Structure 1
Amino acid sequence: MDNYDVKKERPGLYSAGRRKFEVIDVPRMRFLMADGHGNPNTSPEYAEVVTALYTTSYAVRAVAKQELGRTHTVGPLEGLWSSKDLEVFRTREKDAWDWTLMIVQPDWITPGIVDAALERVHRTKDLSAVKLVRFEEFTEGPSVQVLHVGPYDEEGPTIARMHDEFVPAQGLTLRGRHHEIYLSDARRAHPSRLRTILRQPVAPVREQG
């Protein structure tokens, strides 16, 4: 039985160069998602949502294996981040952040499989944040991305160069929400070794006129 691993099947989306910004086109994909607000380091809701997303994702994998005979590796945690003032991402004013956490699902995962997985989680686990989990398609489109290696709080200068230097130089403008893909397990990796893809949707300047 072949095992599907999104990081291997879609390397252009789940790997990136460390020092060179690149423009990519992100297709429509399916995710388990949940929304929240506030500092991810201090918000109990953030930790609860992470647990609920992973628990549901593993339940989806189990249901898909049972019903379809297909297996896959659970994808990495991802986050969409936004605020009325983008400056808070550079200054790391985390209490002002709105976030949507998500985990990608293979194309063959259906709403029925997710419903069965959620029912299983509700029946076997006591996780209040599971009620926040939804299954949704998300199309990001043209985006700029780069790999950040190191602590999350040191992302600011790279984000600033992306927003203020690279994007304008390409005749592009920012749109949508700042996106991060966490390739490392923050519970195990030393902060200096954390690998995070930083992604920002963009559009040609002329489309914004």
Structure 2
Amino acid sequence: MSEQKIDFKKTLDSYQAKRGVYRIIDVPPTQYLMVDGHGDPNTAQEYTDAISALYPVAYKLKFASKQQLGRDYVVMPLEALWWSDNMASFTSSRDKSKWDWTAMIMVPDWITPEMFDAAVAKVAAGDRPTSLDKVRLEILDEGRCVQTLHVGSFDDEAPVLEKMHHEFIPGEGLTMTGKHHEIYLSDFRKVEPAKLRTILRQPVA
């Protein structure tokens, strides 16, 4: 008899956040499907192609895990790392054309490189996504982070990040390290901008 389906959004502390609360957490090494790119996510075809490649592989891995290992889980939401040569482009100018990014979907630690290779091969055998060759399996070790929940449009994140970067983090005697991380708990294709729920995370030291 197979185990109950796991929803990591509910079981992992790193996916818990409250609006208006800045929390310091220790994020364990976490395994992701990843695709790198550059440019404004609203207009860059590269970003659309990345997402179109990540999800088919994620679902193939979910089905393989259930069938081969008897371990079923909910496919996790889209996440992304964002960075720029000028970090002010996140909080002041919001010039998204200058952003670099890594689009990601978390997968359980029991997913092996062999399972990943098999999943990619299965996706390739069908309607092959443009960016399939860019998908990789990698562990991200962020360690200590500050995170909070933002509710609303992505374009309204700046004041929340301003407070995180320039008030809370220095106030706790911490400095920013690593890349800005967003976890999209809402499907932006189906939820109106004012109701979007996004975890905003910043690694610190």
TM-score (norm 1): 0.95
Asked if structure 2 preserves the Cα contact closer than 8 Å seen for 1:63 and 1:116, the reply is no
Separation in 1 of the partners of 2:143 and 2:32?
15
Separation in 2 of the partners of 1:125 and 1:67?
24
Alignment identity in percent?
Answer: 49
Separation in 2 of the partners of 1:126 and 1:107?
26
Aligned residue runs from structure 1 range 41-190, under 5 A = 41-90=42-91, 91-190=93-192
Structure 1 runs of 4+ aligned residues shifted over 3 Å read: none
Q: CA deviation at 1:35?
A: 0.1
Separation in 1 of the partners of 2:58 and 2:174?
35
Asked if structure 2 preserves the Cα contact closer than 8 Å seen for 1:40 and 1:94, the reply is yes
SS at match of 2:142: strand
Provide the aligned C-alpha RMSD in A.
Answer: 0.8
Separation in 2 of the partners of 1:49 and 1:58?
15
1:31 aligns with 2:32: yes
Q: Deviations over 1:75-121 (max 9, x none)?
A: 01100000011000112100000000111001211111111100000
TM-score (norm 2): 0.97
Unaligned runs of 5+ in 1: 204-209
Q: Deviations over 1:139-173 (max 9, x none)?
A: 10000000000000000011011000000000000
Separation in 2 of the partners of 1:109 and 1:9?
18
- Counterpart position of 2:200: 198
Unaligned runs of 5+ in 2: none
Separation in 2 of the partners of 1:36 and 1:68?
33
Aligned residue runs from structure 1 range 7-22, under 5 A = 7-10=9-12, 12-22=13-23
Q: How many residues align?
A: 202
Separation in 1 of the partners of 2:24 and 2:59?
32
Q: Deviations over 1:6-48 (max 9, x none)?
A: 11110x2112010110100000011000100000000001011
Larger helix proportion, structure 1 or 2? Answer: 1
Larger strand proportion, structure 1 or 2? Answer: 1
SS at match of 1:136: strand
